[in-house]
A and B are shown apart, each in its own frame.
Chain A
Amino acid sequence: SQTIHQWPATLVQPVGSPLSLECTVEGTSNPNLYWYRQAAGRGLQLLFYSVGIGQISSEVPQNLSASRPQDRQFILSSKKLLLSDSGFYLCAWKQGANAFFGQGTRLTVV
């Protein structure tokens, strides 16, 4: 069966520090992978999506970047965090009609 792992579950980082969130998928190959952010009390905002290794599309201009170094690995990064980067970050994969989320990372920038 397919599973998606995302870590860490919670993170507190100071303003200006770097960020790296990792997401890996098991039990599937060549999945479409997505990074979403959910701010408190708001909907899910699509940040990045990837259809394959090294193929990243950005949905909104922001302080974040994404990379896909391996087929089943999707990384969300920032060189310098802003207060506005706080939120609930979710990795998701989709293949065919199935779409599933990782457990999410709650990021608080202080």
Chain B
Amino acid sequence: GQNIDQPTEMTATEGAIVQINCTYQTSGFNGLFWYQQHAGEAPTFLSYNVLDGLEEKGRFSSFLSRSKGYSYLLLKELQMKDSASYLCAVRRDSGGYQKVTFGTGTKLQVIP
């Protein structure tokens, strides 16, 4: 089986920095995705980490530690439009198949 845990909700102030954590337990791990999902819309791809370390893309960065089963998404210079759910998803390879399983998401509210 697999477990993906992330906080249910977070609140942060406009202009600040917020870190959204994700822990996972799975066999056959082969990468971790972060997605942003605004209410009523489909998720949009933010990042994919397969090696340990930090990947930076503008205001968003994603970190992975495979040995600890841990990732975080770092959002800098928060804007009101960053209010959304952030989904952590784990890619697992099993028997030649690639499965992507999602956590329940972290609802981030950015306040003025």
Number of interface residues of A (CB under 8 A): 24
Q: CA of A103 to CA of B51 in the docked complex: distance in angstroms?
A: 30
Cβ-based interface call for A12 (8 A)? no
CB distance B97 to A49 under 8 Å? yes
Give the CA-CA distance A49 to B99 in the complex, in Å.
Answer: 8
Tell whether A15 is near chain B: CB-to-CB under 8 Å. no
**CB-based contact B87/A101 at 8 Å:** no
In the complex, are the beta carbons of A97 and B31 less than 8 A apart?
Answer: yes
Given that A43-B105, A99-B33 are contacting pairs, would A90 and B100 also be in contact in the complex, using a CB cutoff of 8 Å? no
Which of B41-49, B56-64, B66-74, B76-84 forms contacts with chain A? B41-49
Q: Do A90 and B87 have beta carbons less than 8 Å apart?
A: no
Task: List, in ascending order, chain A residues with CB within 8 A of B97's CB.
Answer: 49, 51, 57
Contact of A94 among B42, B43, B98 (CB under 8 A): B98
Nearest CB of chain A from residue B69's CB, rounded to whole Å: 18
Known contacts: A97-B31, A97-B50, A99-B33. The answer to whether A46 contacts B99 by CB under 8 A is yes
B7 at the interface (CB under 8 A from A): no
B101 and A46 form a contact (CB under 8 A) = yes
Q: Contact: A44 with B102, CB < 8 Å?
A: yes
Q: What is the CB-to-nearest-CB distance from B107 to chain A, in angstroms, rounded to a whole number? A: 9
Besides A49-B99, A104-B42, 6 more A-B contacts (Cβ < 8 Å) are A44-B89, A44-B105, A45-B102, A99-B45, A100-B45, A101-B35
Which B residues lie at the A interface, using CB under 8 A?
Answer: 31, 33, 35, 40-45, 48, 50, 87, 89, 96-105
